[in-house]
């Protein structure tokens, strides 16, 4: 962080604390009852995010070397000194930020969210807060996040940083939470020093990497009732980077200062994963994060890759719920991305080349997602995504506006329809070979 930024950050923290004192007295505009006042640049960033619809999640770190997912340190009860030795051998010599961003562009994602520090506590970026980082601790000596940030900026893709609040390495992460175990750390620590460490790292991420889309927090669920002092951290982020979005994966109701509600391995409101909330914000942009196989970090034996049809289904159903899809890859320890991921991303990109207009820049459509598919809309145009419907006629409930014209997105053939006021019936063409989503475009309007 440069000196000016640091001074401003510290000043900001003081003002933020003052705000905390004054807010209950109604002496600050920071919070007006339940309604938060959000500055224009963040509102614009939220709109950008809601339009983006498709992001690439990247889980990559020291753990990738063991090919057993990002929880390997915890799952195999690896002691801190042993994990530190493993970290000292991390050397992803085939990492090529330009190749990753080229893949992201081919896939049609509008943003990338990468792990800057996962629960193992290893910083994948140059930080002055600890030598336990990729530049100072490994033979690689390069900062992959800087290289990725530069490549993203050069190609118009926004970069978000995943940041774990949970830490299995830092001695001050104490008292430990639900994932505590005896891994060689002392049974004591200074929590306020840990928070200061995190805030200083976040300051670095927001000042040393050019424009950053936002911070994707994870791990607070490890000890949800700890004094995280989120107000201070959020105020710091918004001060350093007023348009940066805060995306918390705490699986709870959104809190003041947070910009996006995210759902892990689930569409909004669903809870098949067992830890999401059924509450869905009506105000904030939404996001579903999803693994392409069954792992976030590189897992050498996990070949449970979802078929392209399933992934398209998630993208469509997420959009039909008004949500983005954040689709994950776990690169290999050498920095390359396995062909299973690449092939699927390329297929999604090809699909979006034809159908992207029914996804990007849309909002949830007038008919909530159904077993047959979903609807999205942009202005007066409604896109009916028919993913799975065997019959020639599809009946929809009233759409709130008359249908004036209906045609197939692919090829433009007109679609016969009947809009009785009690509902709309569409006469669907047969499914073409390999077609994953029959998209019917409905041009609606109030007049005849
Ligand atoms: O524990 C992490 C997990 O490793 C991964 O990062 C996912 C991504 O959404 N989030 C956590 C579990 O909630």
Determine the structural domain holding residue 27 and report its residue range. 3-361
Q: How confident is the model at residue 275 (pLDDT cuts 50, 70, 90)?
A: confident
Which of 361, 389, 424 is the C-terminal boundary of a domain? 361
Q: How confident is the model at residue 180 (pLDDT cuts 50, 70, 90)?
A: low
In ligand 1, the atom with minimum distance to the C-alpha of 221 is 13
Look at residue 231 in the predicted model and tell me its pLDDT.
97
If asked whether residues 325 and 399 sit together in one domain, one would say no
Give pLDDT tens digits for 22-33: 332 222 223 333
If asked whether residues 265 and 372 sit together in one domain, one would say no
If asked whether residues 285 and 396 sit together in one domain, one would say no
Collapsed DSSP state (helix, strand, coil) of residue 236: helix
State how far the Cα of 165 lies from the Cα of 223, in Å rounded to an integer: 10
Q: How confident is the model at residue 259 (pLDDT cuts 50, 70, 90)?
A: very high
Neighbours of 420 (CB within 10 A): 8
| CATH number where 28 lies | 3.20.20.80
- Whole-angstrom CA distances from 284 to 214, 271, 334 are 15, 19, 38
In ligand 1, the atom with minimum distance to the C-alpha of 328 is 8
Give pLDDT tens digits for 181-196: 778 899 999 999 999 9
Q: Which has the closest alpha carbon to 203: 13, 392, 54, 25? A: 13
If asked whether residues 315 and 390 sit together in one domain, one would say no
Look at residue 273 in the predicted model and tell me its pLDDT.
87
Look at residue 238 in the predicted model and tell me its pLDDT.
97
If asked whether residues 12 and 159 sit together in one domain, one would say yes
Whether omega for the bond prior to residue 175 falls within 30 degrees of 0, making it cis, is yes
Q: What value, to the nearest 5°, has the Cα angle with vertex 197 and ends 192 and 202?
A: 125
Look at residue 277 in the predicted model and tell me its pLDDT.
87
Give pLDDT tens digits for 188-222: 999 999 999 999 999 999 999 999 999 999 999 99
Look at residue 430 in the predicted model and tell me its pLDDT.
96
If asked whether residues 375 and 284 sit together in one domain, one would say no
Look at residue 157 in the predicted model and tell me its pLDDT.
98
Burial of 188 (0-12, 13-18, 19+ CB in 10 A): exposed
Give pLDDT tens digits for 92-147: 999 999 999 999 999 999 999 999 999 999 999 999 999 999 999 999 999 999 99
Angle between helical axes of 308-320 and 339-355 (0-180°, round to 10): 50
If asked whether residues 301 and 410 sit together in one domain, one would say no
Q: Which has the closest alpha carbon to 331: 135, 75, 94? A: 94
Q: Of the residues 60, 296, 324, which should be mutated to test ligand 1's pocket, given the most ligand atoms within 8 Å of the CB?
A: 296
State how far the Cα of 308 lies from the Cα of 378, in Å rounded to an integer: 25
| Average pLDDT rounded to a whole number, residues 155-174 | 98
What is the chain's Cα-based Rg?
A: 23
The answer to whether 73 and 83 are in contact (CB under 8 A) is yes
If asked whether residues 394 and 259 sit together in one domain, one would say no
Q: Tell me the CA end-to-end span of the chain in Å, nearest whole number.
A: 60
- Number of structural domains (the chain) is 2
| CATH number where 415 lies | 2.60.40.1180
Q: Of the residues 218, 260, 276, which should be mutated to test ligand 1's pocket, given the most ligand atoms within 8 Å of the CB?
A: 218
If asked whether residues 22 and 119 sit together in one domain, one would say yes
Which residue minimizes the CA distance to atom 9 of ligand 1? 264
Look at residue 264 in the predicted model and tell me its pLDDT.
97
If asked whether residues 426 and 345 sit together in one domain, one would say no
Residue 356 pLDDT exceeds 70: yes
Residue 427 pLDDT exceeds 90: yes
If asked whether residues 124 and 185 sit together in one domain, one would say yes
Which of 334, 361, 388 is the C-terminal boundary of a domain? 361
| Average pLDDT rounded to a whole number, residues 428-439 | 96
Give pLDDT tens digits for 38-67: 999 999 999 999 999 999 999 999 999 999
Percent of the chain with pLDDT over 90: 88
If asked whether residues 355 and 374 sit together in one domain, one would say no
Collapsed DSSP state (helix, strand, coil) of residue 270: coil
- For ligand 1, which residues put their CB under 6 angstroms from it? 59, 70-71, 218, 249, 264, 289, 296
**How far away, in angstroms, is 56 Cα from ligand 1 center?**
15
**How far away, in angstroms, is 218 Cα from ligand 1 center?**
7
Residues 6+ apart with CB under 8 A from 299: 67, 68, 69, 293, 330
Which of 346, 361, 376 is the C-terminal boundary of a domain? 361
State how far the Cα of 429 lies from the Cα of 413, in Å rounded to an integer: 9
Identify the DSSP state of 414. Answer: B
């Amino acid at each position: 962080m440069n000196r000016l930024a640091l001074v401003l950050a510290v000043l900001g923290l003081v003002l933020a604390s003052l705000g905390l004192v004054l807010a209950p007295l109604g002496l600050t505009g920071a919070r007006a009852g339940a309604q938060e006042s959000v500055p224009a640049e963040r509102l614009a960033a939220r709109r950008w995010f809601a339009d983006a619809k498709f992001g690439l999640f990247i889980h990559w770190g020291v753990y990738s070397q063991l090919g057993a997912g990002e929880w390997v340190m915890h799952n195999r009860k690896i002691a801190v000194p042993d994990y530190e030795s493993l970290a000292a051998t991390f050397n992803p010599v085939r990492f090529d930020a330009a190749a990753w961003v080229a893949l992201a562009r081919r896939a049609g994602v509008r943003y990338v969210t990468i792990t800057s520090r996962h629960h193992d506590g290893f910083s994948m970026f140059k930080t002055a807060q600890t030598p336990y980082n990729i530049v100072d601790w490994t033979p690689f000596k390069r900062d992959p996040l800087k290289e990725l940030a530069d490549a993203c900026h050069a190609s118009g893709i926004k970069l978000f940083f995943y940041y774990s609040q949970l830490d299995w390495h830092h001695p001050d992460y104490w008292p430990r939470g639900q994932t505590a175990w005896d891994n060689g750390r002392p049974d004591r620590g200074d929590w306020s020093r840990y928070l200061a460490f995190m805030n200083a790292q976040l300051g670095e991420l927001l000042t040393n990497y050019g424009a950053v889309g936002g911070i994707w927090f994870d791990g607070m669920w490890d000890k949800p009732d700890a004094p995280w002092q989120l107000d201070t951290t959020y105020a710091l982020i918004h001060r350093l980077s007023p348009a940066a979005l805060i995306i918390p994966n705490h699986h709870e109701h959104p809190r003041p200062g947070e910009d996006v509600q995210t759902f892990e391995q689930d569409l909004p409101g669903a809870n098949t994963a067992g830890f999401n909330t059924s509450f869905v914000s009506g105000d904030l942009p939404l996001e579903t994060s999803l693994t392409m196989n069954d792992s976030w970090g590189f897992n050498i034996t996990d070949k449970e890759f979802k078929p392209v049809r399933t992934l398209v289904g998630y993208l469509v159903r997420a959009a039909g719920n008004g949500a983005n899809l954040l689709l994950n890859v776990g690169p290999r320890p050498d920095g390359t991305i396995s062909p299973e991921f690449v092939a699927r991303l390329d297929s999604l990109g090809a699909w979006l080349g034809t159908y992207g207009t029914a996804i990007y820049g849309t909002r949830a459509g007038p008919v909530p997602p159904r077993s047959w598919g979903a609807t999205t809309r942009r202005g007066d145009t409604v896109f009916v995504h028919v993913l799975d419907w065997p019959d020639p006629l599809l009946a929809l409930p009233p759409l709130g506006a008359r249908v004036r014209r209906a045609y197939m997105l692919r090829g433009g053939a007109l679609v016969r329809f009947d809009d009785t006021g009690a509902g709309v019936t569409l006469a669907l063409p047969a499914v073409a070979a390999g077609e994953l989503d029959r998209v019917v475009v409905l041009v609606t309007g109030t007049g005849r």
